[in-house]
Amino acid sequence: MKPTRPFDPTPVITIDGPTASGKGTVAAPVAATLGFHLLDSGALYRLAALASFRYNVDKDDAQALATLIDSLHITFREGCTQLDGLDVSTEIRAEEVGNRASAIAVHPDVRHALIVRQRAFRKRPGLVADGRDMGTVIFPDATLKVFLTASVEVRAARRHKQLMQKGFSANMDNLLRDLRERDARDTSRAAASLKPAADAKTLDTSGLSVDQAVEQIIFWFSEVRV
Arithmetic mean of pLDDT, 99-122: 90
SS3 94: coil
* Domain 12-216 class in CATH: alpha beta
pLDDT, residue 1, reads: 46
Rounded Cα distance between 203 and 110, Å, is: 32
- Between 76 and 169, where is the model more confident? 76
Mode of pairing for the β-strands spanning 144-149 and 37-40: unpaired
**Amino acid identity for residue 17 in this structure:** G
Backbone angles phi, psi at 120, to 5 degrees: -70, -15
Per-residue model confidence as pLDDT tens digits over 42-94: 889 899 999 999 999 999 999 999 999 999 999 987 678 999 999 998 888 78
**Prediction pTM value:** 0.83
Band (pLDDT 50/70/90 cuts) for residue 21 is confident
pLDDT higher than 90, residue 20: no
Residue 189: per-residue pLDDT: 65
pLDDT at site 7: 62
